[in-house]
Structure 1
């Protein structure tokens, strides 16, 4: 291989590495942005189901055991969703638009998982609630689980 061929080979190889790196970075950026969108949808569903239960607890909606059980079971399922796909590294506040995830989610992953488990347990405890008063009594633990997670793992609005 002569000098020109070597130079062209090195330049072509370098361009390929740069292109591969750029592709990988753009794919990682898209994965992080998609994860933020997905967890926003998850939180909208959490909010919806808490609103259903809250309406029953406040007497704004009639008590219906099937509705209470469905909302509570859906909340438990939402709390059980895989964090591996929703809370991907690189999707923290400042790295992805719309994210309020604090770095503590990844540095204290066991604590973060525990907060979701608290929500799951609080929601599961509402299954079989006998009346609106029982729903109201369980809402404190459910709201507390949300608050505990938000205080530790959610950053301020920008």
Structure 2
């Protein structure tokens, strides 16, 4: 628990700092998000055993990631950062309001999963499907597929 408090405190401090390179910063956040979701996916698929405390810690990390992304969306996607080594779709800048709504829904669903603190794999599956659905919806609308 102490490590979690320290991690959240460090994340809050990091949120207050300006993003140095918006493309690299948003890619780092998405890679972190993908790693956390991947870990939860293994539990949902039965590839790893369900551990309520570990699942809750992963969900809390996902919530912290979503909060950092949500509070920094303008800094992560400033004008001109749509070119270069990025798979961010131009639609983000064309429909920033819609993009923010999609991210806020993801954040709300992640917070709901943390608040529900899944007690078994079945309850995690339902929450995970909602979170993963948000990922898919956003990627379809606001991400350019590679290759």
- TM-score bracket relative to the smaller structure: 0.7 to 0.9
Note if contact 1:68-1:126 (Cα within 8 Å) is conserved in structure 2.
Answer: no
Deviation at 1:125, TM superposition (A): 2.5
Partner of residue 105, structure 2: 118
Q: Which runs of 5+ in 1 are unaligned?
A: 1-31
Partner of residue 56, structure 1: 43
Tell me whether 1:89 sits opposite 2:79 in the alignment.
Answer: yes
Partner of residue 102, structure 1: 89
Q: What is the TM-score when the length of structure 2 is the normalising length?
A: 0.76
Provide the C-alpha distance between the structure 2 equivalents of 1:55 and 1:121, rounded to a whole number of angstroms: 23
- Dislocated runs of 4+, deviation >4 Å: none
Q: Which runs of 5+ in 2 are unaligned?
A: 1-18
Measured on the aligned residues, the alpha-carbon RMSD in Å equals 2.0
Provide the C-alpha distance between the structure 1 equivalents of 2:43 and 2:109, rounded to a whole number of angstroms: 16
Provide the C-alpha distance between the structure 2 equivalents of 1:140 and 1:111, rounded to a whole number of angstroms: 21
Provide the C-alpha distance between the structure 2 equivalents of 1:90 and 1:80, rounded to a whole number of angstroms: 23
128, 136, 139: which one aligns with 2:125: 136
Tell me whether 1:69 sits opposite 2:56 in the alignment.
Answer: yes
Partner of residue 12, structure 1: none
Partner of residue 34, structure 1: 21
Provide the C-alpha distance between the structure 2 equivalents of 1:150 and 1:33, rounded to a whole number of angstroms: 24
- Determine which structure has more spread, i.e. the larger CA radius of gyration: 1
Deviation at 1:88, TM superposition (A): 1.6
Note if contact 1:35-1:87 (Cα within 8 Å) is conserved in structure 2.
Answer: yes
Q: What is the TM-score when the length of structure 1 is the normalising length?
A: 0.72
Provide the C-alpha distance between the structure 2 equivalents of 1:102 and 1:58, rounded to a whole number of angstroms: 31
Deviation at 1:33, TM superposition (A): 8.8
